[in-house]
Amino acid sequence: MTAHTAPAFKASDYKSDIKPVWCPGCGDYHVLLSVTRALAELGRRPEDVACISGIGCSSRIPAYVNCYGFHGVHGRSLPIGTGLKVARPDLTVLVAGGDGDGFSIGGNHFQHACRRNIDITYIVMDNRVYGMTKGQPSPTTEPDWDSALSPGGTGLSPFHPLVIALASGANFVARTFSGDPNRTTEVLVEAIKHPGFSFVQILSPCVTFRPDERGWKDVVHTAAVEETDDPARAARRIMTDDGFNIGILYRGNRAPYKLTGREATSDTDQLGEMFAI
Amino acid sequence: MSEDKATAKTSQPGPEAIESVEELLAHAYVIEVDAVERYNLLADQMEVHNNSELAALFRKLAGHEEHHAKEILERAGDKALPKLKSSDYKWGEFEAPEAAELDRAHYLMTPWHALQMALRAEKRAFAFFDQLVKTAKDDEMKKWSEEFREEEAEHVRLVEELLTRYPEPAEDWAEDPDPPVYLE
Helix (H) or strand (E) holding A272: helix A268-275
Domain presence at residue A6: no
Q: How close, in Å, is residue A143 to chain B by CA atoms?
A: 20
Nearest to A128 by CA among A154, A95, A165: A154
pLDDT of residue A261: 62
Is residue A5 domain-resident?
no
Four-CA torsion B169, B172, B174, B179, nearest 10 degrees? -150
The CATH superfamily of B17-163 is Ferritin, core subunit, four-helix bundle (1.20.1260.10)
Task: For residues A63-82, give the mean pLDDT.
Answer: 97
Q: For A247-256, A263-272, B74-83, which range has the lowest pLDDT when averaged over its residues?
A: A263-272
Nearest Cα neighbor of B46 from B62, B64, B69 is B62
Residues 6+ apart with CB under 8 A from A35: A14, A51, A61, A65, A94, A96, A123, A188
Give residue-wise pLDDT tens across range A118-162.
999 999 999 999 999 989 999 999 999 999 899 999 999 999 999
Q: How distant is the Cα of B153 from the closest Cα of chain A, in angstroms?
A: 26
The reply to whether A193 touches chain B by the CB within 8 Å rule is no
A30:B6 CB<8 A = no
What is the least distance, in Å, from the CA of B111 to any CA of chain A?
15
Residue of A nearest to B45 (CA): A24
For chain B, give every domain's residue range. Answer: 17-163
Q: Do A20 and B45 touch (CB under 8 A)?
A: yes
How many CB atoms are located within 10 Å of the residue B92 CB?
16
**A199 assigned to some structural domain:** yes
Cβ within 8 Å, pair A5-B94? no
pLDDT tens digits, A49-62: 999 999 999 999 99
Residues of A in contact with B80 (CB under 8 A): 3-5
Which range of residues forms the domain containing residue A96?
A: 18-275
Site from A4, A19, A147 to mutate, B interface, most B CB atoms within 10 angstroms: A19
Residues B28-45 have a mean pLDDT of 96
- Distance CA(A248)–CA(A190), nearest Å, equals 9
Helix ranges, A194-242 (H): 216-219, 231-240
- Rounded to a whole number of angstroms, the CA Rg of chain B reads 19
Give how many domains chain A has, as a whole number.
Answer: 1
* pLDDT tops 80 at residue B10: no
Nearest to A131 by CA among A224, A229, A26, A10: A26
pLDDT, position A16:
97
- Interface membership of A232 toward B (CB under 8 Å): no
CB contact under 8 A, B3 and A20: no
pLDDT in tens, B108-147: 999 999 999 999 999 999 999 999 999 999 999 999 999 9
Average pLDDT, chain B: 91
pLDDT over threshold 50, residue A27: yes
The mean pLDDT of chain A is 93
For residues A3-7, average pLDDT: 47
Give B182's contacts in chain A (Cβ within 8 Å): 134-135, 148-149
Distance CA B80, CA A126 (A): 40
pLDDT for A69 equals 97
What is the CATH classification number for the domain harbouring A87? 3.40.50.970
The answer as to whether A192 is a domain residue is yes
The predicted-structure confidence for A187-201, as pLDDT tens digits, reads as follows 999 999 999 999 999
Band (pLDDT 50/70/90 cuts) for residue B178 is confident
A–B interface: beta-carbon pairs under 8 A? 140
Q: Do A189 and B85 touch (CB under 8 A)?
A: yes
pLDDT at A223: 81
Q: In this complex, do A242 and B46 lie within 8 Å of one another by their Cβ atoms? A: no
Transcribe B63-129 into DSSP letters: HHHHHHHHHHHHHHTT---EE--GGG---SSSS-TT---GGG--TT--HHHHHHHHHHHHHHHHHHH
Confirm or reject contact between A209 and chain B (CB < 8 A): yes
Residue A39 within a domain: yes
Q: pTM here?
A: 0.92
The minimum CA-CA distance between A240 and chain B, rounded to whole Å, is 5
In a domain, A73, yes or no: yes
